[in-house]
């Protein structure tokens, strides 16, 4: 076996960890809202109908930001339908997922839930079937204290204090032909600029996210970002990225190396945004919002137009995740941390049931999927400054990306806690010995090593076996002269926690 070497130095700083990268996503799709976070009548529902078990798991997951209400759903959504007395709200046909939307759960219910979950809201406006006036009015309803029609309407609805929502998405996937009201890049860029200008007139403190390409495989990718930013650069703070990784459409090795693709995607969008900055001669640098990402078994997905209209929330893309999927999710988080200087918002899609780390049974239990664990541990341990690491070692062959490193890693250093945490994955099917070179930190002790792995990489959690796959704590390796040696099992994710020892 070829030994890999991982060298860490506190001088190789990237940027502070932005807690917003540990975000999630709640869309009116399938059972994410109804039967997921909200289920009146459930034995564990609170007086507002929120499932307390899901709230508890959301807090344990370490979610920082939640994007709402879509997703494709937002492009046909009237936010006014989801406010005011519940009994007076209209039932609507949802154009995106061919379901009946009761509007029993809307904006103020979401904000109530977000407060209980301790998360920051990230609100999306409808630029598919609506436009500038509706977007500005929604900001007014949410963020102004009173004295205007929309703000006073919120107060009439029983919400006296403004919500104060800072993060706003200017539509969703507007390049996609599946999107209700999809536009060309120029059309969307002009609309985003005008809507953003109006929204900022209502509240100058908000941050705006422009739609990037729906995924890196879109035929207009990069040209879309360039055209949109040429029109909207001065009004927006972020451009979005969306990407899902499908185990059924890739060979196994390429799937395990999905973070290679995410690294390239991020770098390409940054290069495009910086080209526009230079072309327009602007000082501001656009940041990135990876506000939809996850593993998704898309070959099992039935397109909405091929399904009958659902009167009740349908079971849509409720994927059962494996240990391999969890390792891939952990590796995607490593990629996100590696780009902490520019990628400062991330939303794993979605939170409950729909390609989600949390699954629920109607009227029954909630449990953690395998992908829950690397997310929760990374969110809990990633504090301080991201460090770029030097990593050498064996390679593995993939059909999609050629030869790629078998290991991937990033480090986070928190001097206030005297702590260094290494996040490492072995994406190969063989064990890999790893030599840690920590000499640049002086005296260190490895205090904890947590891993997500299994002898069966296809192992899953379920309602019957909710703890079939859980993180395991291994005996931490001894540090001698600033070096430590360990062996990483095949297809495994690791968090290695080190404490800086006081100098003698």
Nearest CA to 325 among 421, 427, 396?
427
Helix (H) or strand (E) holding 155: helix 149-156
- In the predicted structure, residue 157 carries a pLDDT above the cut 70: yes
**CB–CB of 28/351 below 8 Å?**
no
CA dihedral angle for residue 188, residue 189, residue 195, residue 196, rounded to 10 degrees: 140
Helix axes 323-338 and 258-280, enclosed angle (nearest 10): 30
Other CB atoms within a 10 A radius of the CB of residue 431 amount to 13
CA-only gyration radius of the chain, Å: 23
pLDDT digits (tens, 9 = 90+) for 217-274: 999 999 999 999 999 999 999 999 999 999 999 999 999 999 999 999 999 999 999 9
pLDDT digits (tens, 9 = 90+) for 180-191: 999 999 999 999
∠ Cα 32 27 66 (to 5°): 100
Give the separation between CA 444 and CA 498, rounded to whole angstroms. Answer: 6
- In the predicted structure, residue 304 carries a pLDDT above the cut 90: no
Q: Single out the catalytic residue among 109, 137, 292, 318.
A: 292
pLDDT digits (tens, 9 = 90+) for 443-500: 899 999 999 999 999 999 999 999 999 999 999 999 999 999 999 999 999 999 999 8
Phi, psi of 179 (to 5 degrees): -80, 130
Nearest CA to 422 among 432, 433, 437?
437
- In the predicted structure, residue 278 carries a pLDDT above the cut 70: yes
Q: Single out the catalytic residue among 27, 80, 173, 318.
A: 173
Mean per-residue pLDDT for 120-140?
98
pLDDT digits (tens, 9 = 90+) for 189-213: 999 999 999 999 999 999 999 999 9
Q: Is 292 a catalytic site residue?
A: yes
pLDDT of residue 52: 98
SS3 256: helix
pLDDT of residue 311: 81
Nearest CA to 270 among 210, 169, 345, 342?
342
pTM, two decimals, is 0.97
For the chain, what's the residue count?
Answer: 504
pLDDT of residue 302: 67
Q: Is 230 a catalytic site residue?
A: no
pLDDT digits (tens, 9 = 90+) for 50-90: 999 999 999 999 999 999 999 999 999 999 999 999 999 99
Give the separation between CA 271 and CA 290, rounded to whole angstroms. Answer: 16
Average pLDDT, the chain: 96
- In the predicted structure, residue 504 carries a pLDDT above the cut 60: no
Give the separation between CA 337 and CA 204, rounded to whole angstroms. Answer: 29
Give the separation between CA 367 and CA 356, rounded to whole angstroms. Answer: 11
Give whole-number Cα distances, 268 to 130, 226, 340, 343, 347, in Å: 31, 11, 15, 13, 20
Burial of 449 (0-12, 13-18, 19+ CB in 10 A): buried
- Domain architecture of the chain: domains with CATH: 4-10+386-500 (2.60.40.1180), 18-381 (3.20.20.80)
pLDDT of residue 476: 94
């Amino acid at each position: 076996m070829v030994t890999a070497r991982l060298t860490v130095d506190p001088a190789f700083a990237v940027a502070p960890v932005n807690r917003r990268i540990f975000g999630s996503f709640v869309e009116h799709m399938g059972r994410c809202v109804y039967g997921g976070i909200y289920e009146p009548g459930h034995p564990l529902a609170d007086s507002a109908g929120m499932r307390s078990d899901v709230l508890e798991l959301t807090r344990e997951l370490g979610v920082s930001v939640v994007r709402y209400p879509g997703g494709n759903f937002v492009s046909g959504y009237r936010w006014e339908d989801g406010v005011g007395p519940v009994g007076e709200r209209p039932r609507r046909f949802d154009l995106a997922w061919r379901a009946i939307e009761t509007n029993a759960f809307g904006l103020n219910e979401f904000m109530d839930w977000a407060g209980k979950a301790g998360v920051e809201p990230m609100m999306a406006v409808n630029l598919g079937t609506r436009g500038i006036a509706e977007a500005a009015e929604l900001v007014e309803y949410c963020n102004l204290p009173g004295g205007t029609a929309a703000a006073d309407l919120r107060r009439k609805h029983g919400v006296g204090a403004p919500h104060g929502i800072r993060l706003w998405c200017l539509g969703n996937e507007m390049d996609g032909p599946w999107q209700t009201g999809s536009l060309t890049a120029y059309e969307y860029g002009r609309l985003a600029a005008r809507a953003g200008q109006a929204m900022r007139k209502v509240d100058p403190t908000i941050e705006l996210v422009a739609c990037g390409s729906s995924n890196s495989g879109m035929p207009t990718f990069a040209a879309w970002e360039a055209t949109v930013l040429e029109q909207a650069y001065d009004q927006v703070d972020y451009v979005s990225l969306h990407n899902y990784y499908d185990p059924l459409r890739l060979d196994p090795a390429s799937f395990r190396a999905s973070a290679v693709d995410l690294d390239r995607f991020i770098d390409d969008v940054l290069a495009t945004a910086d080209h526009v900055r230079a072309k327009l001669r602007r000082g501001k640098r656009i940041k990135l919002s990876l506000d939809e990402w996850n593993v998704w078994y898309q070959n099992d997905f039935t397109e909405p137009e091929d399904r009958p209209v659902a009167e009740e929330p349908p079971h849509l893309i409720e994927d059962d995740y494996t240990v391999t999927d969890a390792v891939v999710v952990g590796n995607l988080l490593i990629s996100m941390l590696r780009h902490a200087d520019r990628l400062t918002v991330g939303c794993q899609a979605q939170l409950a049931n729909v390609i989600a780390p949390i699954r629920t049974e109607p009227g029954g239990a909630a449990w953690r999927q395998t992908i829950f664990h690397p997310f929760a541990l990374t969110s809990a341990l990633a504090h301080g400054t991201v460090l770029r690491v030097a990593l050498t070692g064996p390679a593995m062959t993939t059909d999609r990306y050629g030869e790629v490193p078998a290991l991937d890693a990033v480090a986070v250093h928190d001097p206030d806690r005297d702590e260094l945490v290494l996040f490492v994955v072995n994406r190969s099917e063989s064990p890999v010995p790893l030599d840690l070179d920590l000499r640049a930190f002086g005296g260190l002790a490895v205090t904890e090593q947590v891993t997500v792995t299994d002898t069966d990489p296809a192992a899953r959690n379920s309602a019957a076996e909710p703890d079939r796959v859980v993180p395991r704590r291994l005996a931490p390796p001894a540090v001698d002269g600033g070096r430590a040696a360990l062996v990483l099992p095949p297809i495994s994710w690791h968090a290695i926690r080190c404490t800086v020892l006081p100098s003698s």
